[in-house]
Amino acid sequence: MNTYLERLAVRTRQVGSVLCVGVDPQPDALPDGFPATLAGVERFCEVLLDATVPFAAAVKPNLAFFEAFGSAGIAALERLRGRVPADVPFVADVKRGDIGTTAARQAVALYDILGVDAVTANPYLGSEAIEPLLARGDHFAYLLCRTSNPGAGELQNLEVAADPAIGAPAEPLYARVARRAQAWGPGGTVGLVVGATAPAELERIRGIAPGLALLVPGVGAQGGEVEPVMRFGPAVAAPAGGRPGGGLLVNVSRGISGAAGKAGSGAAVSSASGVSADVAELLAVAAQQWSTLLCV
């Protein structure tokens, strides 16, 4: 059985980059030629995946953008999942986590039915609530640690008391999550979500958890800088350290999908697909540029 970290390392070596292509299709932001309907969303995502996967270490769809269409949206996501090659890690941005029995069913839905390789998860309920998401050696969960949204510090930066039992000083909650997460799961199945918009926190988290793989959103449209992410993002110890990219994934969503908006309404249209040829080209160019910026 190949672990998630092993598969990610192989893919990272193949593309020479830690780029993770985010798939967050907003109907009202689709380029010309794609109606603001589920059909338009699915068609745009097909073009996005076909154009960008060659440059991506992984892809990360946000399930909320498909769940908003009900069962038809989930069916569309299942079809898109089948479009992504098996050797490209597929990370579901779902932020799951609940009591054990519920989390177990979440694992079945995501790992067995949708066929994702990794998920994002909320550690707020403690280790028992996400254990089913961590228990499988060939899957992976990225725990929300220090996120990229502007209000992240409202709770994540709250100071928590020292805990002599685990050798923890008084520290922000996000730091405690990073410290605790290292002991969760069977080993090698847990990582952290840390936003590029918080570079000081990113550096601190890497010091606390030198071996955990990181999923880093927030570069590009949210304003995060690439340089500190590439400096502090790769793991420097086991289980993720020592592999191509050090287990790092840097997510880019609008920075790539937004490039399609530059396609003019008068652009050449493929008769087979009915889609502007410029859209695919612009998406591919954006993905290639980000892949170069995030090269390893």
With a CB cutoff of 8 Å and minimum separation 6, the contacts of 47 are 260, 273, 275, 279, 280, 283
Extract the tokens encoding 241. 């350290």
Active site residue 262: no
Q: How far apart (Å, rounded) are the C-alpha atoms in residues 160 and 1? A: 39
Q: How far apart (Å, rounded) are the C-alpha atoms in residues 34 and 51? A: 16
Q: Which among 95, 127, 187, 226 is annotated as catalytic?
A: 95
Identify whether the C-beta of residue 21 lies closer than 8 Å to the C-beta of residue 61. no
Neighbour tally for 235: CB within 10 Å: 23
With a CB cutoff of 8 Å and minimum separation 6, the contacts of 247 are 5, 8, 9, 191, 212, 213, 214, 234, 235, 239, 240, 241
Catalytic residue set:
95
